[in-house]
Amino acid sequence: MKKRFSSITNEKLFATSLLVPCIAFVCIFAFYPILYSFFLSLHRIILGLPSIGQPFIGLENYKELLHDRIALRSLITTFAFVSVSTFLEILFGLIIALVINRHFRGRGLVRAAILVPWAIPTVVSSQMWRFICNDNYGLLNYVLFGSHTSKYNAWLADPFFAFSAIVAADVWKTSSFAALLILAGLQTIPDELYETAKIDGANAWQQFRRITLPLIKPAILIALLFRTMDAFRVFDLVFVMTQGGPANATNVLQFYGYKKIFAEGFMGYGSTISVLVFITVFVLSLLYIRLMRTRLFTET
């Protein structure tokens, strides 16, 4: 009995020793920056004026944020970007997953090729899309208008087309990631279900609606969760392609916070914007997780 108790104690100590480095890593590189950002948001810190110090002002930065028209517009732009890009990524990801889940010659090569856009660094893909949309030498103008330079459009100088360009760039890059998650859900569906449905006379649409879609809902929700969280943190795409312009049409919250801190020097106010982004993503994540749990419990 004593030997068994000592072995259990040793296993617990060993498990604890393995968990401590992981917990310490998360605390140092995740929790501490979040808490420190909240601490900075409670102070008035101006990088160009060190003489004023770092006075504690409480929630004044948050009150100012509520009356900041540019911040509110950036919040609306961020929600619009997240909604449109996430919907298109899930839609195209579902289509791609359905295609590469079929058996055909060269399927492995196609699967590897589809993941190439996701593997490319965001800065590189953003630069590529900026070149495509360039009004002087861009591929988009050449395809649409050929050598007729008088008809060239400055796509990134128009608010609607600039916003559409960053959405297209994000969808092109990350749809394959959503497809990968949905494909994992598709491969868990037994082939016997489709064979039985065919015997019962179900066509392709009925099989998709009655079998495929209900069984891959958890995978779709997981893809939706990851893509929503990542879309809210978009920065490098806007930084490279549009710099938040034209007329703040692509000025998402993350980029607006960057400008406040590094361009204007308002460290405290920029940290307030970062805290707002974190709270928004955290709340949405909780809602998605709750939705996934509800779906799983109702289905079981």
Query: Is 221 contained in some domain?
Result: yes
CATH number at residue 214: 1.10.3720.10
Query: Is 21 contained in some domain?
Result: no
Identify the CA nearest to 175 among candidates 97, 284, 71, 79: 97
**Residues 224-258 as b or e (16 or more Cβ within 10 Å = b):** bbbbbbbbbebebbbbbbbebebebbbbbbbbbbb
Query: Token pair 């279900």 is at which residue?
Result: 193
Predicted local confidence at residue 299, as pLDDT: 57
Query: Is 22 contained in some domain?
Result: no
The domain containing residue 141 runs over which residues?
Answer: 64-299
Query: Is 177 contained in some domain?
Result: yes
Predicted local confidence at residue 51, as pLDDT: 63
Element (H, E) at 102: none
pTM, rounded to two decimals: 0.87
Output Rg (C-alpha) for the chain, integer angstroms: 25
Structure-block tokens of residue 285:
């994540």
Instruction: Give SS3 for 43.
Output: strand
Query: Is 32 contained in some domain?
Result: no
Longest dimension (CA), the chain: 90
Query: Is 144 contained in some domain?
Result: yes
Predicted local confidence at residue 297, as pLDDT: 52
| DSSP character string of 14-76 | HHHHHHHHHHHHHIIIIIHHHHHHHHHHTB--BTT-GGG---B-TTHHHHHHHT-HHHHHHHH
Query: Is 190 contained in some domain?
Result: yes
Domain count, the chain: 1
Predicted local confidence at residue 3, as pLDDT: 55
Q: Is residue 82 a contact partner of residue 232, using CB atoms and an 8 Å limit? A: yes
Predicted local confidence at residue 94, as pLDDT: 94
DSSP state of 294: H
Predicted local confidence at residue 6, as pLDDT: 62
Distances (CA, A) of 179 to 53, 267, 285: 50, 39, 20
Query: Token pair 């405290």 is at which residue?
Result: 268
Distances (CA, A) of 40 to 56, 201, 257: 9, 64, 13
Q: How far apart are alpha carbons 261 and 239 in whole angstroms?
A: 14
DSSP state of 188: T
Cβ-based neighbour number of residue 195 at 10 Å: 10
Predicted local confidence at residue 295, as pLDDT: 62
Identify the CA nearest to 164 among candidates 240, 96, 249, 228: 249
Predicted local confidence at residue 4, as pLDDT: 57
Predicted local confidence at residue 56, as pLDDT: 87
Kindly give, in sequence order, each residue whose CB lies less than 8 Å from that of residue 177, ignoring residues fewer than 6 positions away.
89, 93, 118, 223, 226, 227
**241 alpha carbon, distance to own chain's centre:** 17
Query: Is 6 contained in some domain?
Result: no
Averaged over successive runs of 10 residues, the pLDDT of the chain (300 residues) comes to 61 81 85 89 83 82 91 93 95 92 83 86 92 87 75 84 94 93 90 87 88 89 89 91 90 92 89 91 86 63
